[in-house]
Chain A
Amino acid sequence: MTESILVLIIFFVLLVLGIVFYAKVSSVTTSSASQERFELRAIEIANTINHLPELQCSKNNAIERSDCVDLLKFEALVDTMHEYTPYYRERFGVSGAELHIVYPPQGMPPTKLYSFTKPTITSTISFFRPLTIYDPRTDENYFGYLQIEVEQ
């Protein structure tokens, strides 16, 4: 009788330990899956901003090359994004982007393209996208990068 009770106790202890372990593992798996989803979404947003048709360098309405930002289009898009904030906010979620010109050194602060924030942020991923910045006014190509921050 005593032996049977002991066996039952051990069995239930093992069962409880198993359930606790399974619950812990499945919660870790769920959180890592949600982190993966966030990272994929962040990459998608960064790539979309990097290749926005509103920014691409073009000649006679034909896109000349990828990874190139037209400075005049950039300046125009800053105003457009202010005007149509709900549309762009839905497209890019909680994120922000700014343009840095590195060479030739201009001594100017980076230009903010947009910044959509929310009150509570749990994590942020930053992307740096090096690109050519074309200024049609001087017909010169500068070296710069877009800094994109996606928040969760």
Chain B
Amino acid sequence: MNLWKPQRVPTKNAQIEMVGLVIIVIIISLIMLFVLRTLMEPQSEYVQQEEATTLSSQWVDALLRTNSQCFPHAGKSDPSMGELLIDCVKFYGIGGNIICSSSKKSCDHFNETVKALLGNTLHQWNVPYEFKVNKQGQQVLLRHANATRTRNSGGDVTPYTLPIYPTNQNIEIWLCIGGCPP
């Protein structure tokens, strides 16, 4: 039996090294935490959000008030684009009841004007959009888009509603910047 067995006595140096190691680990953890917090901080995109919410509402609002330049009958006032859209949706089966001076019916005139306006504004500004019109809860009657993306790029996605008197139905007009949700 070997009575003489060398015992490993912990020295003070080893303890100091361990404390040093713990301090280094704590410092590195703190640095990592700081880096992660800085990287994970969300970048605010005020301009993009502002553009998305303001553009769509103002665009549709301005469209519906604009004079359509349809001039259906001599001596009669020129309907607004909003009135033309209501006529188009009401009489969608026959392409609209109002016949413009160019012999186009309200649906065709509205469709062509909207297409031109979108092309001269949002498309020209390189803003991806999706414009669509439907009766509340029903299929889409009109759609124009240049958005290859189908994800909305910020802002509220709520349709502009237009009542169809004397019925209790509404027309929903969507202009989604970046694309409408499916």
Contacts and interface: CB of A to CB of B under 8 A. Distances in A.
B65 interface: yes
A68 interface: yes
Interface in B56-78: 58-59, 61-63, 65-67, 69, 78
Contact of A67 (B50, B62, B116, B121): B62
B46 A36 contact: yes
B125 A128 contact: yes
A133 to B, nearest CB: 9
Nearest to A15: B27
What's the dominant secondary structure at chain B's contact region?
helix
Contact of A103 (B20, B50, B66): B66
B66 A143 contact: yes
A130 B65 contact: no
Nearest to A66: B61
Assign chain A's interface to a size class: 20 to 34
B66 A145 contact: no
Q: Which of B20, B43, B58, B61 has the most CB of A within 10 A?
A: B58
A21 B117 contact: no
Given A103-B116, A141-B67, A18 B46 contact: no
Interface string B102-130: 00000000000100110011000100000
B46 A39 contact: yes
B55 interface: yes
A143 B117 contact: yes
Contact of B31 (A7, A18, A39, A42): A18
B46 A143 contact: no
Interface string A1-33: 000000100000010001001000100010010
Contacts of A65: 65
B62 A132 contact: yes
A104 B62 contact: no
Given A36-B44, A102-B117, A130-B55, A7 B27 contact: no
Given A36-B46, A130-B58, A143-B63, 16 more contacts: A18-B31, A25-B34, A25-B38, A43-B50, A68-B65, A103-B117, A104-B67, A128-B125, A130-B55, A132-B61, A132-B62, A132-B66, A141-B65, A141-B67, A142-B66, A145-B121
Interface of A: 7, 14, 18, 21, 25, 29, 32, 36, 39-40, 42-43, 65, 67-68, 102-104, 125, 127-132, 140-145
